[in-house]
Structures are given as structure tokens and as C-alpha cells.
Amino acid sequence: MILILRLFFTLMLASMIAVTGWASLDCALWRIPAEVASHPWFIATLADTYWAFLTFYAWLAYKETSWTSRALWLLAILVLGTMAVAAYMLHQLFRVDAEAGLEQVLLRRKIS
């Protein structure tokens, strides 16, 4: 399972870097037309996305024991979105053996 998740989050990170790079080269973020930025579905999608980011962050805040780490990851997630989520997951997935159980990724490690 760990290997499948490593592949999944690597694909997620690579695809988000690619699509964000492509979009950035085509049009600057601050040049989104007003009719798009004010469209109800655009606003609803942004709200949905950021609530999902904060939901993921709730688990991340449980996993991380340092307030500095928690704050930096929150900033990364709010600025980079799914790229930061994928990076955090890869960070966690490569901290455990490929044969590890998923609980070793999901649960906080005991501090010795």
C-alpha cells in the first residue's frame, strides 16, 4: 500500500507542478477576468478547496508536534495548495518502510 501511495502522491505533485506551470506561462494569476473571479461557481470551488485544505491540515497538526512545523506547513498549504499536500504526504510516506502498515503513516509517532 505504501508504494502505491508514494506513486499516487508523486503523480499528484508532478501533475500539479505541470498544470500550474502551464497555466502560469499562459496567464498570470492576477489577470483572471473579473467575470471568472466573481462567478458563483468559481467562488464555491475556492471555498470548497480551502475547506478541504484546512481539513487535511487538521490531521497534519495532529501529526506534527512542533508549532513551527505546523505553522510552516499551514502557510505552504494555503499558498501552494495540493502541491504542498502531496509534498507532505510524500514526506510522511518516505519516513516509513515500504512494507509498513498505513497506521504508521496516519498516526503520530511516539516521541522517545
pLDDT over 60 at 28, yes or no? yes
Given a contact cutoff of 8 angstroms between Cβ atoms, the answer to whether 87 and 71 are in contact is no
Residue with cell 502498515: 101
Q: Three-state DSSP class for 33?
A: coil
| 87: its cell numbers | 509534498
Quick one: which of 108, 102, 19 has its CA closest to 69? 108
- C-beta atoms surrounding 103 within 10 Å: 8
**Residue 109 pLDDT:** 79
Model confidence over 53-110: pLDDT tens digits? 999 999 999 999 999 999 999 999 999 999 999 999 999 999 999 999 999 999 987 6
**Residue 60 pLDDT:** 98
Segment 15-40 shows an average pLDDT of: 94
